Chain A
Amino acid sequence: AQSVTQLDSQVPVFEEAPVELRCNYSSSVSVYLFWYVQYPNQGLQLLLKYLSGSTLVKGINGFEAEFNKSQTSFHLRKPSVHISDTAEYFCAVSDRAGRRALTFGSGTRLQVQP
């Protein structure tokens, strides 16, 4: 079984400031890691994913994330946020061997202020 913990339920930040959204996971097997974004009244959109290889993954809209196996973390970062980045962000895992479905964290609400 897997679980995902997003340590911050809300992150307020000023426009053009950097941001980090934290994600830790627990799993008895190797996993794939994902970050999804949900804009108000919309479905989820994939930001980026880690499958293998380089631990630094770049995604859409200037976001990147770093996989840290020893700390079982997959934190999401952006060097300079925009008002349009205001949304809910979900970290998710799926196991490599069997179950294909995603296990999601509880989400982090990013609020970008002018």
Chain B
Amino acid sequence: DSGVTQTPKHLITATGQRVTLRCSPRSGDLSVYWYQQSLDQGLQFLIQYYNGEERAKGNILERFSAQQFPDLHSELNLSSLELGDSALYFCASSGRTGPMDEQYFGPGTRLTVT
């Protein structure tokens, strides 16, 4: 158990809909990262937050957005969903923002868009 929790575990929704994925980092970790794992794209970095502020952006679509709240939990919002958005979405947390800091991964949320 990494100490990072993600809800829900599974999500099935239809095209065009909007969903919110939630992540609670390990106690004391200030940094949260979101990754997408799909069969065709592999594991890709989406976005990072540190203590409530956006720190880095990766291959995140404009239809996707995220935020980190004062209690440090984070939410990833996916809107106007397409079939290709079906993937496993991971959240990871680390204590600081340094590149050597180990990132602890949650169990993921599996999103299926039908």
Bound Cα distance A32, B98 (Å):
11
B58's partner among A36, A44, A101 (CB-CB below 8 A) is A101
Q: Which residue of B lies closest to A106 (CB)?
A: B42
Number of interchain pairs (Cβ within 8 Å): 58
Given A100-B97, A102-B45, A106-B42, residue A42 in contact with residue B55 (CB < 8 A): no
Number of interface residues of A (CB under 8 A): 23
CB-CB under 8 A for A101 and B105, given A94-B99, A106-B42: no
Q: A43-B105, A43-B108 are in contact. Are A107 and B42 (CB under 8 A)?
A: yes
Interface residues on B, range: 20 to 34
Contacts of A11 in B (CB 8 A): none
Interface residues of B in 64-112 (CB under 8 A from A): 90, 92, 94, 97-108
| A residues less than 8 Å from B14 (CB atoms) | none
Contact with B along A12-33 (1 / 0, CB 8 A): 0000000000000000000010
Which A residues are within 8 Å of any B CB, using their own CB?
32, 36, 42-46, 49, 51, 90, 94-97, 99-107
